[in-house]
Amino acid sequence: MTLHTDVTRQFLDDPRIYLTDGGFETSMVFHEGLDLPAFSAVVLLDDAGTRAAVTRYFERFLAIAEAAGTGFVLDTATWRAADHWAAAIGRPKAELRQLARASVAFAQALRARWEKRVDPILIEGVVGPAGDGYAPENLLAPDEAEALHAGQVRLLAEEGVDFIGAITMTHPGEAIGIVRAAQAAGVPAVVSFTVETDGRLPNGQTIGTAIAETDAATGARPLYYMINCAHPDHFAAELGQGDWRARIGGIRANASRLSHAELDRAEELDDGDPEEFGRLHAAFAGLMPGLKVTGGCCGTDHRHVGCVARHVVEPVVAVA
């Protein structure tokens, strides 16, 4: 049985498609010119100037949700904020935990300022992979992953997030561990898998088999699954068949058609074509009967999400 709270049940029952943000970290690096040690954005909450940049970023997307007449899923800046990232980020573990708490508080304050204009706003406590979200070098067993991530999941739950988002998962083992940690902490969870240019996870599995394995090991606990960090062309063909499509509740695609290896080597941002990005989402949105939230991932910003809102979200809101 899937774990629900009142707010998540309202969210899942709402016929509207909600919005979320775009490529947070890539926007901070390439558009704001900010330094992210080990690509960790949580450090931006440690300074008034960089906090202002984060506020500007998220408020652009909240304004799009307001104009579209829909709800919003607001992420915490905690994709790389767990204890095991402390050495790479150059911050003590205790300081990272405090920054993670500050990230939830930041999201809660932002929600309070916008909740009369965008309703509802759900806060997703983001948990990233133990290693590189583009590579499967750390293939964790579920028990190992649960032990590794339990501390961050518990902290986010205690601070009051609405659900946990296991983002950029490269294989089911780590996803299963995070879902189990969320269950132990009494908070729902969402799992987002990343895929390569062939539409398969970095470990070679299809999206459908990864979802089936995760559901089987967790009693179908995830609220829903997502696909993130790949261009729509990379996974559109995978959406053509299979009952597992009903479990896909979110899409956060990349702006670029480049492979993950090419993106790692890129020194300039490839932001693609925002209008095409929106049209591509419209073309395959009908293949996902359970779609609940959409936004962007690497290389995307408010322009891309604005186009998705116009092509995908606003038509659904008008019908609802």
- The CA dihedral of 83, 143, 214, 104, to the nearest 10 degrees, is -20
Supply the pLDDT for residue 1: 37
Q: Which residues pair with 125 in a beta bridge?
A: 164
User: Are the beta carbons of 73 and 20 closer than 8 angstroms?
Assistant: yes
Supply the pLDDT for residue 8: 86
Name which of 318, 320, 312, 244 is nearest 20 in CA terms: 312
Token pair, residue 19, equals: 């919005």
Mark the ranges of the chain whose per-residue pLDDT is less than 50. 1-2
Supply the pLDDT for residue 239: 86
Supply the pLDDT for residue 136: 67
User: Are the beta carbons of 206 and 244 closer than 8 angstroms?
Assistant: no
| Coil, helix or strand at residue 18 | strand
